[in-house]
A and B are shown apart, each in its own frame.
Chain A
Amino acid sequence: MTDVNTLIGKPWRKPPFIKRRWLRWVLLIGAVAYLIAAYMTIDVNWARVYEGLERGKQFVLAFTSPDFSTRSSDIYEGMLESVIMTIAASVVGIVISIPIALGAARNIAPLPVYLICRSIIAISRALQEIIVAILLVAIFGFGPLAGFLTLSFATIGFLSKLLAEDIESMDKVQAEAIKASGAKWTQWINYGVQPQVMPRLIGLSIYRVDINFRESAILGLVGAGGIGATLNTAFDRYEYDTAAAILLIIIVIVMALEYISGVIRARVQ
């Protein structure tokens, strides 16, 4: 603390967020310089933007009168395909990620297995869905199979990592008690480990279903099936009312999924 006598007579000043003065100034000046440099390199065609505002207004207005009927069969098929991809990919992804999570938990797996499983997780997390989808479409051809594989692959990285962390932080005492009763390895996992991580596994799985649905909406842009292709066509044809209808459906489904996952997570935890 500074001496009280030196502070008497001076008004109180708010302490700064960054205490070191030079660092504060370097960060501030650096940020301003960066913003200027960034602004200079982005050439915005303001005339084009101004023209576009009219279309933007039309799009916003389209949300007040979305057109569900004209392309209803396309929307229905696209949505169904998205949902199917989501469900199938979530199931397969979860089933595969459980053994990988067990392998990636240091308190269960030996070091070589641990390293292999961790590197699988790292690869799956570093590659984005859409890039994986492009490669898989090139390999497996157009259609929902590529999307299904992409989502399964992405699910593995997400779920295994979080589940492995949960397994690593589990209560050792319970697991040891099961082991002391002479249980086999599978029994040990089934009765010592699984009950402890089950609530988290259910919560994460439902959360991942939610994410998979959102991602499935864009996979169609690169030809991997789902509602994205329909949406893309609607934008290309400037059919904003159809596009608005699709977006509204996506938003409603995501909200519903979020609500359901909230209820289920509250029940299991």
Chain B
Amino acid sequence: MPVQDLKGRKVWQRRSGRESLGHWIMWLVGVAVFAYCWQQISASTTWFFVWDAPRIAEDIWTRATPPRWEYITQLGKPIWDTLNIATLGTFFALILAVPVAFLAASNTTPSKLFIRPFALLIIVSTRSINSLIWALLLIAIIGPGVFAGVIAIAIRSIGFCAKLLYEAIEEIDQTQVEAITATGASRWQVMAYGIVPQILPAFAGIAVFRWDINIRESTVLGLVGAGGIGLQLSSSLNVLAWPQVSLILLVILAAVVISEWVSAKVRGAII
């Protein structure tokens, strides 16, 4: 126990001398790095605008309220598009994620040395790039529209779904698989009757969870031109129609809250 001798009186301390020195140096380096970062941000900021910010914020607020409620009639189709992007995107992602997950799980992969790293690479690379960037890329390739949004959401979701799914596959109860194998079942029969029933609840949970996230992401995909309500948002922003912007933000907020509620209900029913 680290104890400090203070004029003959022993006082308990949390750390020994060497430990507290190490902590002190760590904090010093951390603070120095943060100070450098802050200085860089500060250097590339026009502080005049920042001091002016409260006035601008108030100005925007007065322009944006009240929202232009009658604009909501024009938002029906964009909302439907957004829903389609999220749902179809999740649908295609799941179709693609299932084989990737089976190839990536160490107990079902055909080859640990060659195929598993490849499947893991797919998972990491699709997961680490944001759906907006995928959308940007797909718009350059296949042109703007809802279809680009669907594909962007699908690609982005593969990694997420496949990662959660292969972790579920690796955690299955091996005795059931053995029992099916012992009956003389083929490789595919083992999969269908030994593995799939065990991961089906996890699969449904992942699907709904990802759908919820995708609703969120698809609301902003339109900012880069990939369809949905974000398209209306960006065009309203471009013409500085703040009452429309505030209405769209309210609609997006409502969509996010509803999808979260639905996903929580469905997951509650499954698990």
Within 8 Å by CB of B200, from A17, A52, A88, A254, lies A17
A144 touching B132, Cβ below 8 Å: no
Residue-wise interface mask of B (131-175) relative to A, using a CB-CB cutoff of 8 A (1 in contact, 0 not): 011001100111101110010000000000000000000000000
Which of A99-107, A160-168, A215-223 participates in binding chain B? Answer: A215-223
Bound-complex Cα distance A14 to B193 (A) = 9
Residue B41 is within 8 A (CB to CB) of chain A in the complex: yes
Residue A2 is within 8 A (CB to CB) of chain B in the complex: no
A38 touching B88, Cβ below 8 Å: yes
Are A130 and B220 CB-contacts (below 8 A) given A251-B125, A254-B128? yes
Q: Which of A181-222 contact B (CB under 8 A)?
A: 214-215, 217-218, 221-222
The minimal Cβ–Cβ distance linking A264 to chain B, given in whole angstroms, is 13
B256 touching A140, Cβ below 8 Å: no
Residue B87 is within 8 A (CB to CB) of chain A in the complex: yes
The minimal Cβ–Cβ distance linking A183 to chain B, given in whole angstroms, is 13
A138 touching B56, Cβ below 8 Å: yes
B45 touching A59, Cβ below 8 Å: no
The minimal Cβ–Cβ distance linking A233 to chain B, given in whole angstroms, is 11
B37 touching A87, Cβ below 8 Å: yes
A148 touching B130, Cβ below 8 Å: no
Bound-complex Cα distance A85 to B41 (A) = 8
The minimal Cβ–Cβ distance linking B8 to chain A, given in whole angstroms, is 23
Residue A247 is within 8 A (CB to CB) of chain B in the complex: yes
Residue A268 is within 8 A (CB to CB) of chain B in the complex: no
B143 touching A128, Cβ below 8 Å: no
Count how many chain B residues have C-beta atoms less than 8 Å from C-beta atoms of the other chain: 57
Q: Which residues on the A side are within 8 Å of B147 (C-beta)?
A: 42, 44-45, 49
A214 touching B130, Cβ below 8 Å: yes
Residue A110 is within 8 A (CB to CB) of chain B in the complex: no
Residue-wise interface mask of A (83-95) relative to B, using a CB-CB cutoff of 8 A (1 in contact, 0 not): 0110110010000
A251 touching B129, Cβ below 8 Å: yes
Using CB atoms, name the residue of chain A closest to B33.
A87
Q: Which residues on the A side are within 8 Å of B143 (C-beta)?
A: 45, 48-49, 52
Bound-complex Cα distance A140 to B130 (A) = 25
Within 8 Å by CB of B224, from A34, A87, A221, lies A221
Q: Which of B207-258 contact A (CB under 8 A)?
A: 216-217, 219-220, 223-224, 233, 237, 249, 252-253, 256-257
Bound-complex Cα distance A251 to B193 (A) = 37
Q: Which residues on the A side are within 8 Å of B133 (C-beta)?
A: 217-218, 228, 231, 247
Interface SS, A side? helix
Q: Which residues on the B side are within 8 Å of A251 (C-beta)?
A: 124-125, 128-129
Are A250 and B129 CB-contacts (below 8 A) given A88-B38, A235-B136? yes
Residue-wise interface mask of A (128-139) relative to B, using a CB-CB cutoff of 8 A (1 in contact, 0 not): 101100110011
Residue A121 is within 8 A (CB to CB) of chain B in the complex: no
The minimal Cβ–Cβ distance linking A125 to chain B, given in whole angstroms, is 9
Residue A232 is within 8 A (CB to CB) of chain B in the complex: yes
Q: Which residues on the A side are within 8 Å of B252 (C-beta)?
A: 128, 131
Residue-wise interface mask of A (213-248) relative to B, using a CB-CB cutoff of 8 A (1 in contact, 0 not): 011011001100100100110011010000100010
Q: Which residues on the B side are within 8 Å of A38 (C-beta)?
A: 84, 87-88
The minimal Cβ–Cβ distance linking A30 to chain B, given in whole angstroms, is 12
The minimal Cβ–Cβ distance linking B185 to chain A, given in whole angstroms, is 13
B146 touching A42, Cβ below 8 Å: yes
Which of B18-26, B46-54, B67-75, B107-115 participates in binding chain A? Answer: B46-54
Residue B186 is within 8 A (CB to CB) of chain A in the complex: no
The minimal Cβ–Cβ distance linking B198 to chain A, given in whole angstroms, is 12
Bound-complex Cα distance A235 to B30 (A) = 36
Residue B11 is within 8 A (CB to CB) of chain A in the complex: no
Residue from A56, A139, A217, A235 whose CB has the most chain B CB atoms within 10 Å: A139
Residue from B88, B143, B204 whose CB has the most chain A CB atoms within 10 Å: B143
Are A143 and B46 CB-contacts (below 8 A) given A48-B143, A218-B130? yes
Using CB atoms, name the residue of chain A closest to B221.
A130
Bound-complex Cα distance A215 to B40 (A) = 19
A55 touching B141, Cβ below 8 Å: yes
Residue B80 is within 8 A (CB to CB) of chain A in the complex: yes
A49 touching B142, Cβ below 8 Å: yes
Q: Which residues on the B side are within 8 Å of A41 (C-beta)?
A: 80-81, 84
Residue A28 is within 8 A (CB to CB) of chain B in the complex: no
Q: Which residues on the B side are within 8 Å of A139 (C-beta)?
A: 53, 56-57, 60
B200 touching A221, Cβ below 8 Å: no
What 18 additional pairs, Cβ within 8 angstroms, besides A84-B37, A139-B57, A254-B127? A14-B193, A41-B80, A42-B88, A42-B147, A44-B145, A59-B140, A80-B40, A81-B44, A88-B34, A91-B30, A131-B233, A131-B252, A135-B60, A140-B50, A214-B128, A221-B223, A251-B124, A255-B124
The 7 closest A-B pairs by CB, nearest first: A254-B128, A141-B49, A52-B142, A88-B37, A145-B45, A48-B143, A56-B141
Identify 23 residue pairs between A and B in the complex whose beta-carbon atoms are under 8 Å apart, listed by A's number: A17-B200, A17-B204, A42-B81, A42-B88, A42-B147, A43-B146, A84-B37, A88-B37, A128-B252, A131-B220, A138-B60, A143-B46, A144-B40, A144-B44, A145-B45, A214-B129, A218-B130, A221-B223, A222-B223, A247-B129, A250-B128, A251-B125, A254-B127
